[in-house]
Amino acid sequence: MTRRRTTPALLAAVLAAVLLQLGFAAPAGATPPGIPTAATARTYLASITVAASTHTTTYNRDLFPHWHTVSGACNTRETVLKRDGTSVVTDSACASTSGRWFSPYDGATWTAASDVDIDHMVPLKNAWISGAWAWTTAKRESFANDLTNPQLIAVTDNVNQSKSDQSPDAWKPPLSSYHCTYARMWVKVKYVWALTVTSAEKSALTTMLNAC
């Protein structure tokens, strides 16, 4: 069931989106590592194998162990919440008790970690059908918890849920101003992990990168 948002939060999200579309600077927020330039992303995309999706009926999320321990009591989700947030305070179990999270997908800012999801840039199912079906479980675990590449990002929970397992030809962030960055991140992950793209996916990514 979709969580009801308070009117102030909705107004804040709408205002942030309008300001971003008008070209005003976004608040400090999610900055995953390893985002390439548009030119580099185009080079990466040209080298990625184009192939139809396979093993589309055999995906199981449990095949990608995720949110493993990173350091001390902190797992991958909690690590990304701290990385992507501002003034984040955590308790002894590493759970975020306060902070601010700006979601670049929709321009909303949240002050409760429960309103934030950690999005897998390339969804686990998409990875499965574009090559991860052949990986070992250990490699799939590394992919699902990848903090080295731009694979994990803190965003508004409902927006992440609307994305689900869709690729850029079927879903893009609500803020068109973020499409360039989104495409650069997606391509980097596919390139590093040697995953394939469909022809429709490549076409959408090409259009997004050409608009950078």
DSSP string, 189-202: HHHHTT--B-HHHH
* pLDDT means over runs of 10, the chain (212 residues): 40 42 45 96 98 98 97 97 97 97 98 98 98 98 98 98 98 98 98 98 98 96
Structure tokens at 92: 């002894």
User: Residue 52 domain-assigned?
Assistant: yes
Contact yes or no for 154/27 (Cβ under 8 A) = no
User: Residue 151 domain-assigned?
Assistant: yes
Contact yes or no for 91/81 (Cβ under 8 A) = no
Nearest-angstrom CA–CA distance, 111 and 7 = 15
Structure tokens at 72: 């001390």
Whole-model pTM? 0.86
User: Residue 85 domain-assigned?
Assistant: yes
Least Cα distance to 172 among 192, 188, 155 occurs for: 155
Nearest-angstrom CA–CA distance, 106 and 20 = 9
Query: What pLDDT shows up at residue 86?
Result: 97
DSSP state of 26: P
User: Residue 2 domain-assigned?
Assistant: no
What is the phi/psi pair of residue 104, to 5°?
-70, -15
User: Residue 66 domain-assigned?
Assistant: yes
Contact yes or no for 168/182 (Cβ under 8 A) = yes
Query: What pLDDT shows up at residue 17?
Result: 43
User: Residue 31 domain-assigned?
Assistant: yes
User: Residue 108 domain-assigned?
Assistant: yes
User: Residue 1 domain-assigned?
Assistant: no
- What are the pLDDT digits (tens) for 69-86? 999 999 999 999 999 999
Question: Domain tally for the chain?
Answer: 1
Structural domain for 107, as ranges: 7-210
Query: What pLDDT shows up at residue 186?
Result: 98
Q: Write down the residue that tokens 């991958």 correspond to.
A: 76
Query: What pLDDT shows up at residue 31?
Result: 82
